[in-house]
Amino acid sequence: MELGRIAAEKLFEVDPMDSGNHVLLSNMYASRGRWEEANDVRKEMKGVGIKKGAGCSWITWKNVVHVFQAKDTSHERNAEIQAMLAKVKRDMQAAGYVPDTSFALYDLEEEEKESEVFQHSEKLALAFGLLCIPDGLPIRINKNLRVCGDCHRAIKFISGIVGREIIVRDNNRFHHFRSYQCSCGDYW
């Protein structure tokens, strides 16, 4: 933790208004359950006018771009998307998947954290893709941030369970998921 804090301070010296550096420090504290320090970083960001851009994922179907944010319920097919997520979650858990709730970076009860990670934007986009894109065609998702570890692991499970190729382009690389595997070799 100490090394991470020192690195963040050095990054702040280079670019004090880069929201990514502040969010990284806040998330680092949150991942260790140090909620007060995580909140302090967020308050400091707000105090100096630094805003975190919203994370989102999008999928194109029939020449229409469908954009999702975490916990997004605004899509016209939200009820179907949530039903698909619930089905996929049951199938994944039956196959041995356990959500990594350390990626729920808020001070919540464990059950709430599990719900939180299952509402990440890439999972919503994937559920939409499973609803719309015919079997045999790959599901292609774009994301403006890096995919979190839980979503990466979940998409590997889903690719095997549904027998589909899933391609996720995050801000770091392409991930080709197929048969419980990712082309990145779990390094991203």
pTM value is 0.75
Compute and round to an integer the Cα radius of gyration of the chain.
17
Q: Write out pLDDT tens, residues 45-93.
A: 888 888 877 789 999 999 999 999 998 999 999 999 999 999 999 999 9
Q: Looking at residue 103, what DSSP letter applies? A: G
Percent of the chain with pLDDT strictly greater than 90 = 49
pLDDT score for 33: 76
**pLDDT tens digit sequence for 8-49:** 788 788 888 877 777 778 777 877 778 788 788 888 888 888
Which among 62, 188, 63 has a CA at the least distance from the CA of 122?
188
Torsion of CA 185, 144, 10, 186, to 10 degrees: -10
Instruction: Say how many C-beta atoms besides its own lie within 10 A of residue 82's C-beta.
Output: 16
pLDDT band at residue 109 under the 50/70/90 scheme:
low
- Residues 154, 90: Cα–Cα separation, whole Å: 12
- Which helix H or strand E contains 72, and what residues bound it? none
Edge-to-edge strand list for the sheet holding 166-169: 64-69, 56-61, 139-143, 166-169, 174-178, 181-182
Q: Tell me the C-alpha to C-alpha distance, in Å, between residue 171 and each of 51, 77, 145.
A: 19, 27, 5
Is the CB of residue 142 less than 8 Å from the CB of residue 173? Answer: no
Q: Rounded to an integer, what distance in angstroms lies between the CA atom of residue 132 and that of residue 182? A: 23
Are 104 and 123 spatial neighbours (Cβ–Cβ below 8 Å)? no
Tell me which of 118 and 73 has the higher pLDDT.
73
| CB-based contact 135:164 (threshold 8 Å) | yes
Alpha-carbon distance of 32 to 95, in angstroms, equals 28
What gap in Å lies between CA 140 and CA 58, rounded to an integer?
A: 9
**Residue of 139, 132, 143, 150 lying closest to 171 (CA atoms):** 143
